[in-house]
Amino acid sequence: MPRVLNDTYEELVEKAQEIFWLKGFKGVSVKGLSEHLGVSQSVIYNKFSKDLLFLDSLNYYTSNYSDPFLKQLRETTDGLDSLREFFYALIDALLDKTFPKSCLMVNTVVELRNENKDVVKKYDDYLKVLKDSYKVVLEKAYALGQIKERQKIDDYAEYLMGIIFSMSILYKIKPINELRQYIDEELSFIV
C-alpha cells in the first residue's frame, strides 16, 4: 500500500519528472503516478494534481537539465565548433541508455501541442531560451569570421531549432557515426 507523503515536494517532482519523461503526460495515469511516487492517489488529488506535478516537472527539467546545458553552450567561445560539440554532446546523451528518451520539452511539444495554455507557455519559454542560446553562439561565430552575413543569424538559429527536433527522431534509427555526419552536414550550411 502506498505510504503517505514522506518526501519533500521537490523529491516528488523529481520522481514525477522521471515517469513523465519516459511515458509522456497522457501515458501516465493518476494511479500510475501514485505508484511511481509511492503515495496514495488521494495525496495527489488532495494536495497536488497530475497537471501541477507535470508543470513542476517541466520546471525541474529546465532548471536541472536544459538550463545548465544551454548556459554552457552560451559561454563557449569557438563559434560553429561550439555548436558542433553541443550537438555531439546531445547525441551522446540521447544514446546513453541510462538517460530517458529524447528531450522532455520536445516530447511535450509533440505530445500536447496547444492543449494546455500553461504547458504552451512553458515550452514557448524553453524554445525562446534555446533559440536565443543559438543566437549568442552564432554572434560569436560572426565575430570570428565564420559567418559572413550577420542578418542571417536569426534564420540560422531557426534552422538549428529544426536540427534539434530532427535529432529527437533520428537518434532512434541511426548509429552514432551517421548522427555526427548529419550534424556536420547541417552545420556546413551555416556560412
Predicted pLDDT at 5: 53
Q: In 3D, which of 51, 167, 49, 45 has the Cα closest to residue 112?
A: 51
Q: In 3D, which of 39, 172, 181, 31 has the Cα closest to residue 103?
A: 172
Query: pLDDT at residue 19 above 80?
Result: yes
Contact 137, 52 (CB under 8 A): no
Query: pLDDT at residue 157 above 70?
Result: yes
Query: pLDDT at residue 11 above 80?
Result: yes
| Residue 142 Cα distances to 78, 103, 152, angstroms | 11, 28, 10
**Gyration radius from the chain CA atoms:** 19
- 39: helix, strand or coil: strand
Question: Could you tell me the pLDDT band of residue 160, with boundaries at 50, 70 and 90?
Answer: very high
- 61: helix, strand or coil: helix
Query: pLDDT at residue 6 above 80?
Result: no
Predicted confidence (pLDDT) per residue in 71-101, tens digit = 999 999 999 999 999 999 999 988 987 777 7
Q: Which fold has domain 56-187?
A: Tetracycline Repressor; domain 2 (1.10.357)
| Residue 155 Cα distances to 138, 162, 191, angstroms | 11, 11, 12
Question: Could you tell me the pLDDT band of residue 151, with boundaries at 50, 70 and 90?
Answer: very high
User: Residue 39: beta bridge partners?
Assistant: 3
Query: pLDDT at residue 188 above 70?
Result: yes
Q: What are phi and psi of 3, to 5 degrees?
A: -80, 165
The count of residues in the chain is 191
Query: pLDDT at residue 138 above 60?
Result: yes
Here the cell at position 44 is 495527489
Predicted pLDDT at 7: 76
| Residue 12 Cα distances to 4, 37, 39, 54, angstroms | 12, 6, 9, 11
Predicted pLDDT at 1: 45
